[in-house]
Amino acid sequence: MQFGIHLPQAGDQASPTKIRRAALQAEDSAVTDVWVSDHVILPNGASYPPSPLFYDPVVTLTWVAAVTKRVRLGTSVMVLPMRHPLPLAREFGTLQDYSEGRVILGAGVGWCEEEFSALGVPFKERGRRMDEGMALMRAVWSHDPVTFPTKYISANVMDMRMTPLPKVRIPFWIGGVADAQIRRTIEQADGWHGSRQTPAEAAPFIQRIRAARPEPEFTISMRVRWDGTDIGALRDRVAEFAAVGVQHIMVEPNSRETDDWDAVIEGTIKVAAG
């Protein structure tokens, strides 16, 4: 089992100082990667997420890359279809080279219709925009010059150049359990990044994905919540996930606003050490 931690990048306790400290703790431990979440703008008074405080995910990971050398850098998850894929491809391609190949691009379709509306992006086309956006990003990362006709994304990419091409291929891990997301994972991704399912809930999705993607380098990952108090409970939960085929666990606080981030991070580091 591999372990990741969510950096204190979102929620009322988030701060640059805490992000840097957590990244350095992970760097000096058995934890394999550090993660951030993604929202651009949220409705006032929304019940979830409880805080609108989100530091930009790509800028945060770039800053973390500058103070680390080993840990991988993941998004859990980037809401890909609400952004134009070309500047996003440039940002992640740059981060991949700056970090010497440590990026994991966790991506999902999103759920907040008001956020899409604020950004001027059609919410009902998000699945089709995600498919086209992933393909366009991979095209500009791997072809120079590149031509890519689009249907849902406003772009005229005809004999264009975006260099440098990333030296190391950027993997996509897809989040979500909707049928379209599972099919997208099987057909297009390098991993599946589940979120907050129980082992029993995750098992049928894992079985379906693994039957279609048996290669060992395809990663089955799960984002789990833990309040930092009972390390034995976390060990038990990890064992339960391992039994249904999960290879990677990313741990976040149960509550970003009230849990002790230090306890969650330090406890995860202990579990990762064995």
My answer on whether omega of the bond before 77 falls inside 30° of 0, hence cis, is yes
pLDDT of residue 100: 98
Helix 199-212, helix 231-243: angle, nearest 10: 40
Number of domains in the chain: 1
pLDDT of residue 97: 98
d(CA 199, CA 181): 19
Looking at residue 1, its amino acid is M
pLDDT < 50 positions in the chain: none
pLDDT of residue 47: 85
Q: What is the CATH number of the domain that holds 8?
A: 3.20.20.30
Pairing outcome for strands 33-36 and 2-6: parallel
Contact 71, 23 (CB under 8 A): yes
**Domain range for residue 223?**
2-273
pLDDT of residue 153: 98
Coil, helix or strand at residue 196: coil
Pairing outcome for strands 2-6 and 72-75: unpaired
